[in-house]
A and B are shown apart, each in its own frame.
Chain A
Amino acid sequence: MSTAEATVALPPGFAPAAEGSREAEAYFLNMGPQHPSTHGVLRLVVRLDGETVLGVVPHPGYIHRGIEKMGENMTVLQYLHLTDRMDYLSALFNSHSVCLAVEQALGLGVPERAEYIRVIMSELQRIASHMLWWGVFGMDLGAITTFFYGFRDHEFISQLFEQVCGARLTLNYFRPGGVAQDVPADFVPQVKKIIAQTRRSLDEFDRLLTQNVIIQERTRGIGVLPPERALSYGCSGAVLRASGVSFDIRKHNPYSLYDRFDFEVPLGKNGDCFDRYEVRLREMAQSVRILEQAVTQFPAAGPWRAKEPAHYKLPAGAWFHWVEAARGAFGTFLVADGGAKPVRIKNRSPGFSNLSVLDELARGAKLADLVTILSTLDIVVPDIDR
């Protein structure tokens, strides 16, 4: 009876503490859904002993909109713009995975020029997303200035996006069989300018934050994720690669034109916060490499979208395709029964599985480390809640 009462008194997700254990002395702290460093509307309930974290239970769901369920009541083309609202900081990847699944279903090819546009836009999006993450990471560690430097460089890319498709955040640009419209005439010179700017910025980032002794002290050896645990939790993206597991869908299951480009998959050694930080910075450099190659190979003219049936119906069957998004593997599972609307759409988002390691990483760390770990996991809450 007394055990049942104790369970009721505890916040959901926590086991009752044994008599005389460290947990029995602990108290609970509610972080979020409104909190400066939970990156949106994530709620964390933390069991603390002084400043030491004994356990974390994340409560996602505050921004659940039922996007996948809504997808069952609309055509795939209508669904495309909803996907932008999942991981809104890297919106293009979401629609890319849906487009690839639909193209698989319809057996639709993509013109070469459209593929190049997709690759360039995707890599720009990856850089933009990582830059924003870099700025916010600095802010989570108390260096507010980095936020503005991250945003400055993010802004150049946003401006180009605005010229290409009229939107800055929720781009709604990729379509099954290509992209929504052609790029402006000065697209390539603009991308070249961004490449040069990004190189300069990466250098600046290194000097401002990476080499800072406080950053080193606060990230090295904090939140160590062993590779086997990372794999068993289904982590992907920089979180997985920082633990030393080489898994990049662009490299190991190439889609679009990624087999044409020469680039490396940056790997970490220890799987700590610093490795996750460094892997992301090196990924930006690799994206710049891909961009440079793509810009030189970019076909001057050609169609940007394949001819597709006007009112197409998805044939009966199930398809899955995933892409390497900025935060990891983003996949779309599509089931259709021959109608215009899919029967079921399921998105595999990287944020959800990356967030699930939080409790394991934060145990035994300090409260400030919890914020560092959460920041290097780089979650976007609407991507988790969908």
Chain B
Amino acid sequence: MIASLHSPLATELAARYPATHPVGDWVRAHLSPFGAFTVNALLALALTTVFVSLTALFLVWMERKVCARFQLRLGPNRVGPFGLLQTLADGAKLFLKESFMPREADFFVYHLAPLIPITSSFMVFCVLPFDHHIQIADPQGGLIYLAAFLGMGVFGVLLAGWASNNKYSLLGGMRSGAQMIAYEISYVLCLLLIVLASGSASTRDIVLAQHGTVLNWWLFKLPGCGALGFLIFLISSTAELHRAPFDIAEAESELTGGFHTEYSGMGFSMFFLSEYSNLFVAAGLGTTLFLGGFLAPQFGLGPLDRALDLVPGFAWFLLKVYGLIYLYMWLRWTFPRLRVDQLMALEWKFLLPLALGNLAIAAVLVTLGWLLP
């Protein structure tokens, strides 16, 4: 735990995991402060855009492959090696398609809605620590910023459902709104749990607070509470992502396409893109909060630990993230969907009290210092 920003441990960690990247340093050394800021910001923007697009492309392919294997199929295997370029081909098709708008739809809101979820997803990407020196921004209130922008995504879905002027879309949008508001609470309570344990809301500090062996990850270090918090986080983030068994907003068998029934072409692909970048964000957040983020897993065995430490931090981060993503996919392709009222009952009657109780117990544990050594 980082008790103070100026404690010896914090200083040692800051020295071992420097926050500045060599490229950024080089830019800062050669340009005026304002110029360096502009160039670094543009670099970060370009990197994020490329990374989000590539990740979404890869995740769509991965989801299709994974679900195909669950379903005794092969999945895409025609376009490119192992069908890797299939998503690109589909993207080109979506790009060339006519963007059709229903006559009675609200023009401004209808076109605004697909942009909101993807924007919020980009904003959240900025505070994810990919490595100790690969993080665009590290605000002190990182998790509060995160909660705010994660909550923004629901507006896109809600507005899309309303603006389409279709009863299926409206039902999907309303369902989604109710669902997001409900599950946001237990989601944020999980974030609070970690803020409480780490003594900081900065994502970088949260990762550094888990420095040490695997047992120092918040998943294990908070006895019981960490594991329960992780479980609640998994459930509520699945709900936030609208993935089965919580995909009631687009429930294909009842609502055809739910909130995106009336979207085609680029509007649809924006929703699709945000769905997958949000998947990455949720898994990245789970990794940062509970699984030690970019830190290499250490088992207290000298040579093995040193070998694992040689692997760069972002590789560990991506490995953990993709492990979690696989878990999300596994859940999605195994479970049937819950009904709307059952979904609400699960949150309000079960998850919310559980998360609150968990937080209270964790507060006692942290105060008494009853953590794993």
Q: Please report whether the interface of chain B is mostly helix, strand, loop or mixed according to DSSP.
A: loop
* With A27-B167, A142-B245, A148-B73 as contacts: A366 and B253 at CB distance below 8 Å: no
**What's the minimum C-beta distance from B189 to chain A, rounded to whole angstroms?**
24
- For B336, what are the chain A residues with a Cβ–Cβ distance below 8 Å? 138, 141-143, 209, 212, 214-215, 218
Closest CB-CB distance, A111 to chain B, in whole Å? 40
Q: Are A144 and B333 in contact (CB under 8 A)?
A: yes
Query: Is the CB of B90 closer than 8 A to any CB of chain A?
Result: no
Residues 327-344 (chain B) with a chain A CB within 8 angstroms: 333-342
Query: Would A149 and B171 count as touching, CB distance under 8 A?
Result: no
Contact A36 B256 (CB under 8 A): yes
Are the CB atoms of B247 and A142 closer together than 8 Å?
yes
Task: Give per-residue flags for A145-168: 1 if the beta carbon is below 8 A from chain B beta carbons, else 0.
Answer: 101110010000000000000000
> Are B341 and A141 within 8 A (Cβ)?
no
Docked-complex contact A214 and B254, CB < 8 angstroms:
no
Contact partner of A142 (CB less than 8 A), chosen from B251, B340, B341, is B251
Please give, as numbers and ranges, the residues of chain A lying within 8 Å of B301 by CB-CB distance.
none
A152-B72, A214-B245 given as contacts; is B339 within 8 A of A369 (CB)?
yes
Residues of A within 8 A of B337 (CB): 141-143, 214, 368
Residue of A nearest to B345 (CB): A217
Contact A214 B253 (CB under 8 A): no
Is B338 within 8 A of A214, CB to CB? yes
Interface of A is mostly: helix
User: Closest CB of chain B to A73's CB: distance in Å?
Assistant: 40
Size bin of chain B's contact surface: 20 to 34
**Once the chains are docked, how many angstroms separate the CA of A218 from the CA of B245?**
12
Q: Does A10 contact B (CB under 8 A)?
A: no
CB neighbours of B71 from chain A (8 A): 144-145, 147-149
A335 to B256, CA, bound (A): 45
Across the interface, name the chain A residue whose C-beta is closest to B167.
Answer: A29
Distance between Cα atoms of A293 and B70 in the complex (Å): 35
Do the beta carbons of A145 and B342 come within 8 Å of each other?
A: no
**Whole-angstrom CA separation of A346 from B335 in the bound complex:** 43
Chain A 209-241 interface mask (CB, 8 Å, partner B; 1/0): 100101101100000000000000000000000
In the complex, whether A193 has a CB less than 8 A from a CB of chain B is no
Query: CB of B244 within 8 A of chain A?
Result: yes
Q: In the complex, which residues of chain A have a beta carbon less than 8 angstroms from the beta carbon of B175?
A: 51
The answer to whether the Cβ of A169 comes within 8 Å of any Cβ in the partner chain is no
Task: Encode A347-368 as 1/0 by CB contact (under 8 A) with B.
Answer: 0000000000000000000111
Report the Cα distance A215→B171, complex, angstroms: 23
A65 at the interface (CB under 8 A from B): no
Is residue A139 within 8 Å, beta carbon to beta carbon, of the partner chain? yes
Contact (Cβ within 8 A) B341 A366: yes
If A36-B252, A140-B253, A144-B333 touch, whether A368 touches B339 (CB-CB below 8 Å) is yes
A301 to B172, CA, bound (A): 61
A27 vs B72: C-alpha distance in the bound complex, in angstroms? 42
User: Can you give 16 contacting A-B residue pairs, CB < 8 Å?
Assistant: A36-B253, A37-B253, A139-B253, A141-B253, A141-B336, A142-B335, A142-B336, A142-B337, A145-B71, A209-B336, A212-B336, A214-B336, A215-B336, A368-B248, A368-B340, A370-B254
Q: Apart from A142-B245, A214-B337, A371-B253, what are 12 other A-B pairs with CB-CB below 8 Å? A: A29-B167, A142-B337, A143-B336, A144-B333, A145-B333, A212-B335, A215-B336, A217-B342, A366-B339, A366-B341, A370-B254, A371-B254
Q: Enumerate chain B interface residues (CB-CB to A < 8 A).
A: 67, 70-73, 167-168, 171, 175, 244-245, 247-248, 251-254, 256, 333-342
Q: What 6 A-B pairs are tightest by C-beta distance, nearest first?
A: A142-B337, A143-B336, A148-B71, A141-B336, A37-B253, A142-B336
